[in-house]
Amino acid sequence: MLGLPDPPPARPEFGHDALVVCDNLVRIYQSAHVEVQALQGLDLLVHAGEMVALVGASGSGKSTLLNVLAGVDAPTAGRARVAGHDLVSLSRAEQVHYRRHVVGFVRQQTARNLVPYLTARQTVDLPMTIAGRPRAERRSRVDELLEVLGVGHCAERRPDEMSGGEQQRVSIAVALANGPDLLLADEPTGELDSETGAEVFAALRTVNAELGATVVVVTHDAGVSGQVARTVAIRDGRTSSEVVRGQADEDGTRTAEEFAVMDRAGRVQLPREYREALDLTRRVRVALAGDHVEIRSDREAGG
């Protein structure tokens, strides 16, 4: 009989050292006649300083997850924590503080990120004024952010005097104004052509690398998601797989390895092509084989 390895020592709490912890997160939308399970027990950890791209088919739950992390929507069940803030039990007052100081949010529609009659400088200044920060500090922060994002030349322009890409880069500056722990971006390049979208995505990578901002960005664009160190795929309201990329070589190529995500109950989603290749259906044989686990069809010899 095959001996089992020794059990590991007692483990610390799930995600104890992570900035973002989603643990078995559930969000059910309920209306008079229908119930939609937008998040169905989603687990996700993001560490401080990381940049993570979220990808997935339309309706897989990406925006729902971002809205929960942004503190604008509350989960139905499970645990969500960002920088020590428990998002399941935020009071009204805590919610205001959380949205003002802990997270920054960039939306797809540039018009929802900016104010039509304010210049870039005034818009980036606004969240800091509301937070009561001194004038001199605000001024140097505005200059620094617009400079890092390559839109210093837009400081005195209103949105209709900027290109779509410039507007989104100013939107990133607005979201970062109060130095949030986490920057969230929901398809920030969705309304832009691919070249301008790549520039905006590069700006997100810059704020991650140069300002140390932790970034979670939803994108449909496989080209841009391939530029980040970690891409998490969401399927049917759960994280299903992750691609982790190494540092770029001198010629710009990066190694990439794809992992299936295992939840805390040990459930793993097998890729559809594997299931189809071996005609794996409802039941499979699972065996511990030294340093790996085998999964076989239940129709093999001996079955």
Ligand X SMILES: Nc1ncnc2c1ncn2[C@@H]1O[C@H](COP(=O)(O)OP(=O)(O)OP(=O)(O)O)[C@@H](O)[C@H]1O
Quick one: 63 or 214, whose CB is closer to ligand X?
A: 63
Nearest residue (CB) to ligand X, 60 versus 167: 60
By beta-carbon proximity to ligand X, the closer residue of 122 and 241 is 241
Scanning residues 36 to 75, which ones bind ligand X (CB under 6 A)? 36, 38, 56, 58-64
How far apart CA 166 and CA 253 sit, in angstroms, is 28
Q: Name which of 68 and 207 has its Cβ closer to ligand X.
A: 68
- Taking the complex as a whole, the smallest distance from the CB of residue 234 to ligand X amounts, in Å, to 7
User: Tokens standing for 32?
Assistant: 């008079």
* Rounded Cα gap, residues 83 and 180, in angstroms: 10
* Tokens representing residue 156 in the block: 């005195």
Token digits of residue 52: 């993570």
d(Cα 296, Cα 230) in Å, to the nearest integer?
30
Residue 133 to residue 204: CA distance in whole angstroms: 25
Measure the CA–CA gap between 286 and 38, rounded to whole angstroms.
30
Query: Helix 120-130 and helix 135-148: axis angle, to 10°?
Result: 130
Considering only residues 4-43, where is the footprint of ligand X by CB under 6 A?
29, 36, 38
* Binding flags for ligand X, 265-294, as an x/- string (CB under 6 A): ------------------------------
Cβ-based nearer residue to ligand X, 30 or 255: 30
Neighbours of 204 (CB within 10 A): 27
Please identify, using beta-carbon distances, which residue of 64 and 113 lies nearer to ligand X. Answer: 64
CB atoms inside a 10 Å sphere around CB 42? 28
Name the minimum Å distance from CB 47 to ligand X: 23
Query: For ligand X, which is the closer residue by CB, 28 or 131?
Result: 28
Task: Give me the least distance between CB of 60 and ligand X, in Å please.
Answer: 4
Place of tokens 């210093």: 152
Nearest distance, CB of residue 84 and ligand X, angstroms: 25
Q: How far is the CB of 161 from ligand X (least distance, A)?
A: 30
Residue numbers 128-157 binding ligand X by CB under 6 A = none
Helix (H) or strand (E) holding 128, with range, is: helix 120-130
In the bound complex, what is the minimum distance in angstroms from residue 4's beta carbon to ligand X?
39
3 state SS for 156-172? CCCHHHCCHHHHHHHHH
Q: According to the binding rule CB under 6 A, does residue 78 interact with ligand X?
A: no
- The distance of closest approach from Cβ of residue 214 to ligand X in the complex, given in angstroms and rounded to an integer, is 20
Distance between CA atoms of 1 and 66, rounded to whole angstroms?
A: 47
Q: How far is the CB of 206 from ligand X (least distance, A)?
A: 25
For ligand X, which is the closer residue by CB, 56 or 165?
Answer: 56
- Give the distance from CA 152 to its chain's centroid: 27
Map the footprint of ligand X across residues 105-124, applying CB under 6 A. Answer: none
Q: Where does this chain bind ligand X (CB under 6 A)?
A: 29, 36, 38, 56, 58-64
